[in-house]
Amino acid sequence: MLEMSFIETPYGRIHVQQTGREKSIVWLHGFLENLNVFYPLVRAYPHPAHHILIDLPGYGESVPAKNFDFSMQQMAKAVEAVLSSLNVEKVHLVAHSMGGYIALQIAHLFPERIASILLLHSMASADSEQRKENRNRTIEVVYKEHQLLLNEFYKNWFFEGNRARFAEEIAFIKESAGKNISPQTMIKSLEAMRDRPSMIDTLKNRDFKLHYIIGRYDPLFAASELIAQAETLHAGYDVLELSGHMGYIEEKERSLACIAAFIESV
């Protein structure tokens, strides 16, 4: 049973759910998601653990402060404020996509907090010029018709060969996560991801374990690029051979096995 609470922080009123004891695992969702996406993994996690699921400011049931700027730095500070409120010290971060950028900012700003980081379809480098252009085009679409974007985004994150099979899951994410996200949150998040700095140097000097889970058919990050990055950083990695950007759904059992094996190895 997940225990729900709302934590008042300088960065907003943050919705948190937690369960269990032992080592603390913090689950950070990605762009256009909320904490609900991790329910299947948390419920099936095979070892004792204290699971902390967080709706990031502007997502799910978390309400950002009026002056919240949605930068990865402020997102990281919001998560750290939650951990302080919960009296949690070192944590294992499991972070999907945008959540990965936030996890790396936590490592940069609060290295004492980190026991390990698992990047789930995410990367440590800054956006390339091409990715920045892609984000700018997406921002233009949001300004014109954000609902159109929501209708297409979730489906396109899945490997094309999986979309029909996971139609129910795609509909669930769109309904449970997408309906509450404002155009302003979408635009500010896209700008923040576009403008985030590289965390490569931070990771070269880390004193915690790092692991990547990579989708062979990820439409956002080429598998070869993420493999090269992991190897450069002397990090471990697993490749999901039948997944796009949503491997924790597309290959749930394998994703869970990889996550649990990594965390238990720390």
d(CA 135, CA 133): 5
pLDDT over threshold 80, residue 1: no
* Sign of the four-CA dihedral 87, 28, 41, 263: negative
Residue 247: C-alpha distances to residues 7, 15, 78 (Å): 30, 25, 26
pLDDT reported for residue 236: 98
Assigned token pair, 185: 């949150």
pLDDT reported for residue 41: 97
CB-CB contact of 166 with 251 (8 Å): no
For range 219-234, the mean pLDDT: 97
Between 25 and 174, residue with greater pLDDT: 25
pLDDT reported for residue 66: 95
pLDDT over threshold 80, residue 181: yes
Between 146 and 93, residue with greater pLDDT: 93
pLDDT over threshold 80, residue 74: yes
Whose structure tokens read 């060969």?
A: 161
CB-CB contact of 193 with 100 (8 Å): no
| CA gyration radius, the chain | 17
pLDDT reported for residue 161: 95
List, in order of start, the domains of the chain with CATH numbers. Answer: 3-265 (3.40.50.1820)
Confidence at 179, pLDDT banded by 50, 70, 90: confident
Q: What is the pTM of this model?
A: 0.97
For range 218-227, the mean pLDDT: 97
DSSP code of residue 220: S
Compute how many other C-beta atoms are within 10 angstroms of the C-beta atom of residue 130. 8
